[in-house]
Chains A and B, each alone.
Chain A
Amino acid sequence: MNPANPLVGAALVHLDPPLDLKLEQPQIKTVKPREFGVGERSTLTISLLTVLLLGLLWWTVTERQWVGRVFLPSPAEVLRLAIDIFSEGYANATLLEHLLASLSRILSGALIAVALGIPLGLLAGLSPWVKGVLDAPVEFYWPLPPLAYLPLMIIWLGIGEMSKITLLALAMFAPVFLSAQAGVRSLPVERVQAALSLGATRWQLLREVVFPSALPEILTGIRIAVGVGWSTLVAAELIASTKGIGYMIMSASHFLATDAVFVGIAWIAICAFGFSWGIRSLERLLVPWKGKS
């Protein structure tokens, strides 16, 4: 044993059998690195609490009759009317007819916007001619609120489905077009060069590299477009409609049927949320690499 440092020798001592020391494991708390901003923390509980609190506030306000029924119907009334509308319809059409009318308009508009927006956006990202031609008109009409050019649509295309779907398609085209163009612009030049030195033709380059590279941005564009579509829908359905959720809300407002307005708004929220969720699922399925390369 080293007299200067007794611990040196102590490490060499072997016990046979080894000493079984049943020491109490001290409780050690786990730690996380400090985060800045929201980070990865879930805000679900807070959000649910907020919704609950707002619902409670709504209930209290109507229960205590702080405001008149015409301004704010009670949650119970709205729920009762929602069930009524579900079983008996509203404004000369069933709920399903209203929903289908709105959904088919949105989907037609989206289909046109996507079918034109993706190829034209990709081309605008590739060709200075296409970009030069399309930039000015798109930049001009894109910031306009669709309500502003709605009268033009009616004058040019009449009051039928045509003008509504055109309005929706126009409103939804710009986000898809701009995002496809941005997708091409953000394409790393090395990817293009790699494909070219592997012998890619122009068409192969477009199909194998450019389009898939732009897909994450395109999907984001479509999600924004659908959001824009829903906000344009009520405006589009102002035009002499006889069906549609937007029409339902407008006709309810004419009779100061605030509860029916609430029901209509709820349905739009449900549909919009469903679409947004669907596109997010599509993103997870189609572009799992998003943000990872």
Chain B
Amino acid sequence: MLRVDQATVHFKARDGSTVHALDSVSLDIGDGELTVALGASGCGKSTLLSAMAGFLPLSSGAITLNGRPVTGPGRDRGVVFQKDSLLPWKSVEQNVALGLKLAGLGWREQKEKTSQLLGSVGLQDFAQSPPYELSGGMRQRVGLARALATDPEILLMDEPFGALDSLTREHMQLLLIDVWHKTGKKVFFITHSIDEALLLATRVIVMSPRPGRITHQFDLNFVRAVAHGANPRSVKTSSQYLHMRELLRDLIHSTEHPLERLA
């Protein structure tokens, strides 16, 4: 279990004032849970992910993974970035194998594990391509495979599909559901798309800015239905889904644009 306990992050802004990026946020992500953080930019969701990944120290509070405190980045937490962070001088295969190489695994083991991972994200035919010859969606699949290679406890995904066109995005969402269902990994996923949150989450947390905090949490089941073979389109047109969607929309707009409510 990944436990976030009263995590608070204060930045010093350039003008000397203090920015309360994260204010006493508590959150548990259990095994097999896909937790999605939903909110506008500036609500602290990326800050929360950075702290979980160990890129950012906390001002106060604690983050633990299976009881061990998170003190820095480590291979027990795989990160998938929004901007592709692939290394352009390495082939797709070498990029996916990076974590295994850094861990000192032999060439044969790297090859074996890598080809299996590339198969699971549908990129077996592109193993030798350089990343810059791939489309945006394919690059994100490489990023996902790379993060999975070290068999992390949890996947931390920072708006991984945010820069993709909507068709590719839907494909990627289904791919993620498939990977999540097959591996049973914990996932923490950031988005500002309500539909993405509804489709992917077993739990959605709604965050609001200034100070960044969790305002609402909902447990959802749409992702389990899709994972067990339900048609995503009929899920998305079901009355529960549409109801939740209106609810989340209201919540987000009430926290983000207080003026809009007056109109």
Within 8 A of B (CB), among A250-293: 287-289, 292-293
For chain A, give the interface size range: 20 to 34
Q: Is the CB of A289 within 8 A of B130?
A: yes
User: What's the least CB distance linking A214 to chain B, in Å?
Assistant: 11
User: What's the least CB distance linking B121 to chain A, in Å?
Assistant: 17
Q: Is A239 an interface residue (CB 8 A)?
A: no
B75, B98, B149: residue with the most chain A Cβ atoms closer than 10 Å? B98
A-chain residues with CB within 8 Å of residue B75 when the two chains form the complex: 197-199
A204 to B132, CA, bound (A): 23
Q: Is the CB of A194 within 8 A of B81?
A: yes
Q: Is B85 an interface residue (CB 8 A)?
A: yes
Q: Is the CB of A197 within 8 A of B79?
A: yes
Q: Is A188 an interface residue (CB 8 A)?
A: yes
Q: Is B262 an interface residue (CB 8 A)?
A: no
Q: Is A235 an interface residue (CB 8 A)?
A: no
Interface of A, secondary structure class, is helix
Q: Is B162 an interface residue (CB 8 A)?
A: no
Nearest opposing residue in chain B for A287, CB measure: B89
Q: Is B78 an interface residue (CB 8 A)?
A: yes
Q: Is A190 an interface residue (CB 8 A)?
A: yes
User: What's the least CB distance linking A50 to chain B, in Å?
Assistant: 36
Known contacts A198-B150, A292-B132, A190 near B103 by CB under 8 Å: no
- Our pick among B54, B79, B89, B131 for the contact of A194 (Cβ within 8 Å) is B79
Known contacts A199-B75, A289-B132, A191 near B99 by CB under 8 Å: no
Nearest opposing residue in chain A for B150, CB measure: A198
A283 to B167, CA, bound (A): 37
Nearest opposing residue in chain B for A209, CB measure: B87
Q: Is B119 an interface residue (CB 8 A)?
A: no
A-B contact pairs, 13 of them (CB 8 A): A193-B53, A194-B79, A194-B85, A196-B54, A196-B55, A197-B74, A197-B77, A198-B75, A198-B150, A201-B102, A204-B102, A287-B89, A293-B132
Which residues of A line the B interface, CB within 8 A? 188, 190-191, 193-201, 204, 208-209, 212-213, 215, 287-289, 292-293
Given A188-B83, A198-B75; 10 other pairs, CB 8 A cutoff: A190-B83, A195-B98, A196-B55, A197-B53, A199-B99, A208-B87, A292-B88, A292-B132, A293-B86, A293-B88
Closest 10 CB pairs of A and B: A289-B88, A190-B85, A198-B99, A199-B75, A196-B73, A293-B88, A194-B85, A292-B132, A197-B73, A197-B79
